[in-house]
Amino acid sequence: MDPSSALALTALIFGAALLYSSVGHAGASGYLMAMALFGLAPEAMRPAALTLNILVACIGTWKFWKAGRLSWPLLWPFALTSIPFAALGGAMQLPGNYYRPLVGLVLLYAAWHFLREPEPDDRPLKTPPKALALAAGAGLGFLSGLTGVGGGIFLSPLLLMAGWSHMRESAGVAAAFILVNSIAGLLGVMSHASALPEALPLWAIAALAGGWIGAGLGSKRLKSDTLQRLLAAVLAIAGMKMLLT
């Protein structure tokens, strides 16, 4: 990769980390799309994206926890079953011509939903049934490992649309969910992946900088309706990525 392309890719990774971390996500779908645009080898893309995800999710988890926006009782049933299934999904290599269009359409629908109808911060919340949360965690974990993302892109819409969380709390739960699933997914991917890209340390610096700024804004400063519109943008980007790559 020539220097100008490397700089442009690094800038895209910084931008993806900043945008995604503001809503508790870590940017894997954005990193994958950026890497695909610059022609990186597919076998190197998943481990690189998951590595960047882990770094940004660490920052997001810390920031949202410090701001009092991370609900451990809400997180643990989803995370408990997601971890082994994320490792299982990461170890598998399946053709994407079936699940990618379906996931892409689901994400685009969620993006449309959040743009159309902001969820009020004062609405009463429901407690997710433990059995349903455990089953959903397993499915989301498997999908996250299979696609090379941390799973928060799927968990956040579920929490909000089911009425289980408000916007900022869903971001905190998503950040921690992404962290544990990205670690599990990377362990699975590395069982068959080739060497990581040489430019990964540079991308890591860009992702950490973007994640630090974005998580700081999302955990304390941005209004809930702004966060929800940012989430819609993130979901739309991820959905288009699933449909077009």
How does pLDDT run across 110-153, given as a tens digit for each residue? 777 667 655 566 678 899 999 999 999 999 999 888 777 778 88
- The domain tally of the chain equals 1
C-alpha 169/C-alpha 200 separation (Å) is 31
pTM: 0.83
How does pLDDT run across 8-39, given as a tens digit for each residue? 999 999 998 998 888 888 888 888 878 877 88
How does pLDDT run across 155-175, given as a tens digit for each residue? 988 998 899 998 888 889 999
Report whether pLDDT(205) > 90. Answer: yes
Stretch 44-68: mean pLDDT: 91
Contact 63, 114 (CB under 8 A): no
Domain that holds residue 166: 3-244
In the predicted model, what is the mean pLDDT of the chain?
Answer: 84
Reported as a pLDDT band with limits 50, 70 and 90, residue 58 is very high
Stretch 179-206: mean pLDDT: 85
